[in-house]
């Protein structure tokens, strides 16, 4: 990793500390340009935690029958539903997914307990951009760059050789490591099921996506997010608009407070309303867009914050093996649809966001058209 990514460019200020300082106005480094600020109706929608789906709700997919069958065969109705969700939204919710609701509640409460500790108790886990493991409050390493209204904790869960060592794990709450690792194993299994469904939905062999991304050596990372109360939520974002660089993201949202927004194809922002407390929100990452040759597209999303309530969420990132070149699958490259992206490893790809922080889809769009027409990933 480049020398500029070894240390943060300036002292880190915890957003929680700013929020608890009593300031009526947020510091300028958190203020977004007017075009990026949430509209008042978005803040109102997030405050109104309704369960009823609306016409602009992201699709909900029930995996119960698929998992109950146990024969490994992918139902055509599920593949059609996933295909439509990936084409139209890049996001979907899954229910009856096989992860125990009790485990979901336990891991959410463990991380809520950590973030509610005094900042002094958390500082021993302060992270650095070398690996991002630990307690953090920024992503990009640009000096003087804009900041988001949120703190986080980042850990590697898989494969075994890449797991975060014990020194990066908080010891309070005591259950945090055990419950997070169990949760990671269960959600990783869910990702492997979704890989088969995604492959089948494109007419490929069910194992195609998993093999292309590194097979059993695919990575899983956990980012626990904490968005403190904000005195001026109309001026900032908990996380700026971006698409995720990896394969899939599985989000366990706060059960009380909304905040995730997805950009529709028409450019409008939609606040995601989880249909149940035990639903997962799944989104396609940039690597799926690349491997599918842009049949499926990663979608920009962002997080808005709240003046009255803090918010917790847990994102599990399912990523390719770092040194495997990813390019459009040969089966999805045709004379009338040439390869849109050059081969690139995930290790190379994610340097951009680690340097610059979340920047919409600028990175992926910048690579489009650099591939040799007619080539693909064998």
> What pLDDT is recorded for position 29?
95
Reported confidence tier of residue 48, pLDDT bands at 50, 70, 90: low
Would you state the structure tokens that stand for residue 244, as one six-digit string? 């995720």
How far apart, in whole angstroms, are the C-alpha atoms of residue 320 and residue 220? 9
Strands (E), the chain: 60-62, 91-95, 134-136, 151-158, 219-227, 239-242, 248-252, 260-263, 269-271, 280-284, 301-303, 311-319
Q: Locate tokens 């249909």: which residue?
A: 275
End-to-end CA distance of the chain: 28
> What pLDDT is recorded for position 369?
63
Reported confidence tier of residue 123, pLDDT bands at 50, 70, 90: very high
Asked whether 285 and 244 are in contact (CB, 8 A), the reply is: yes
**pLDDT tens-digit series, residues 192-205:** 999 999 999 999 99
Would the pLDDT of 4 be above 90? no
- SS3 state at 102: helix
> What pLDDT is recorded for position 95?
98
Reported confidence tier of residue 378, pLDDT bands at 50, 70, 90: very low
Q: Locate tokens 């490591």: which residue?
A: 177
Cα separations (Å) of 57 from 93, 103, 262, 364? 10, 26, 10, 26
Q: Does residue 154 have a cis peptide bond before it, meaning omega lies within 30 degrees of 0?
A: no
Name, in order, each residue with C-beta under 8 angstroms of 344's C-beta and a sequence gap of 6 or more. 290, 325, 326, 327, 367
> What pLDDT is recorded for position 170?
98
Beta strands 134-136 and 151-158 are: antiparallel
Lowest mean pLDDT among 89-98, 102-111, 363-372: 363-372
Would the pLDDT of 341 be above 60? yes
Would the pLDDT of 112 be above 70? yes
Would the pLDDT of 54 be above 60? no
Q: What value does the mean pLDDT of the chain take?
A: 91
Which among 63, 52, 53 has a CA at the least distance from the CA of 282? 63
66 φ, ψ to 5°? -60, -45
Q: How many separate helices (H) and strands (E) can be counted in the chain?
A: 12, 12
Q: What is the pTM of this model?
A: 0.93
Read off the pLDDT of each residue in 276-295 and give the average, rounded to a whole number.
97
Read off the pLDDT of each residue in 161-184 and give the average, rounded to a whole number.
97
> What pLDDT is recorded for position 340?
94
**pLDDT tens-digit series, residues 220-248:** 999 999 999 999 999 999 999 999 999 99
**pLDDT tens-digit series, residues 316-340:** 999 999 999 999 999 999 999 999 9
Would the pLDDT of 49 be above 90? no
Read off the pLDDT of each residue in 282-291 and give the average, rounded to a whole number.
97
How far apart, in whole angstroms, are the C-alpha atoms of residue 370 and residue 191? 30
> What pLDDT is recorded for position 148?
97
How far apart, in whole angstroms, are the C-alpha atoms of residue 67 and residue 232? 44
Torsion of CA 32, 33, 34, 36, to 10 degrees: -70
* Neighbour-count burial for 220-241, b at 16+ CB within 10 Å, e otherwise: bbbbbbbbbbbebbebbbbbbb
> What pLDDT is recorded for position 374?
41
Asked whether 5 and 355 are in contact (CB, 8 A), the reply is: yes
19 or 368: which leads in pLDDT: 19
> What pLDDT is recorded for position 202?
96
Read off the pLDDT of each residue in 47-53 and give the average, rounded to a whole number.
54
> What pLDDT is recorded for position 377?
41
Would you state the structure tokens that stand for residue 129, as one six-digit string? 């951009």
How far apart, in whole angstroms, are the C-alpha atoms of residue 260 and residue 109? 19
Q: Which CATH class is domain 16-44+55-320?
A: mainly beta
- SS3 state at 58: coil
Would you state the structure tokens that stand for residue 198, as one six-digit string? 């995604």
Read off the pLDDT of each residue in 248-257 and give the average, rounded to a whole number.
97
Cα separations (Å) of 165 from 5, 177, 204, 224? 21, 11, 37, 17
How far apart, in whole angstroms, are the C-alpha atoms of residue 157 and residue 147? 27
Name, in order, each residue with C-beta under 8 angstroms of 248's C-beta and a sequence gap of 6 or more. 191, 194, 195, 282, 283, 284, 285, 288, 317, 318
């Amino acid at each position: 990793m480049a020398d500029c990514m070894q240390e943060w460019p300036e002292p880190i200020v915890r957003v929680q500390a700013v929020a608890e300082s009593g300031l009526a106005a947020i510091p300028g480094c958190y203020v977004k340009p007017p075009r990026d600020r949430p509209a008042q109706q978005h803040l109102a929608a997030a405050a109104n935690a309704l369960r009823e789906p609306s016409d602009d709700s992201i699709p909900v997919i029930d995996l119960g029958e698929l998992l109950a069958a146990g024969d490994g065969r992918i139902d055509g109705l599920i593949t059609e539903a996933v295909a439509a969700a990936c084409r139209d939204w890049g996001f979907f919710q899954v229910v009856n997914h096989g992860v125990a609701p009790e485990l979901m509640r336990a891991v959410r409460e463990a991380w809520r307990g950590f973030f509610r500790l005094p900042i002094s108790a958390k500082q021993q886990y302060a992270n650095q951009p070398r690996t991002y493991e630990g307690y953090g409050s920024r992503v990009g390493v640009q000096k003087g760059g804009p900041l988001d209204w949120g703190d986080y904790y980042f850990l590697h869960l898989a494969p075994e050789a890449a797991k975060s060592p014990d020194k990066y794990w908080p010891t309070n709450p005591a259950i945090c490591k055990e419950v997070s690792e169990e949760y990671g194993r269960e959600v990783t299994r869910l990702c492997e099921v979704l890989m088969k469904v995604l492959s089948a939905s494109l007419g490929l062999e069910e194992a195609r996506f998993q093999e292309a991304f590194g097979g059993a050596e695919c990575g899983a990372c956990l980012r626990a997010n904490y968005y403190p109360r904000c005195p001026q939520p109309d001026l900032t974002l908990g996380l700026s608009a971006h698409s995720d660089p990896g394969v899939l993201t599985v989000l366990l949202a706060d059960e009380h407070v909304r905040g995730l927004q997805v950009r529709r194809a028409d450019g409008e922002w939609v606040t995601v309303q989880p249909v149940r407390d035990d639903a997962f929100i799944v989104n396609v990452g940039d690597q799926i867009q690349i491997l599918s040759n842009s049949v499926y597209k990663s979608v920009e999303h962002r997080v808005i914050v709240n003046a009255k309530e803090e918010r917790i969420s847990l994102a599990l990132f399912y990523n390719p093996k770092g040194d495997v070149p990813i390019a459009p699958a040969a089966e999805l490259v045709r004379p009338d649809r040439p390869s849109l992206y050059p081969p690139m490893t995930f290790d190379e790809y994610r340097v951009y966001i680690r340097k610059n922080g979340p920047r919409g889809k600028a990175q992926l769009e910048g690579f489009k058209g650099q591939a040799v027409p007619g080539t693909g990933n064998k």
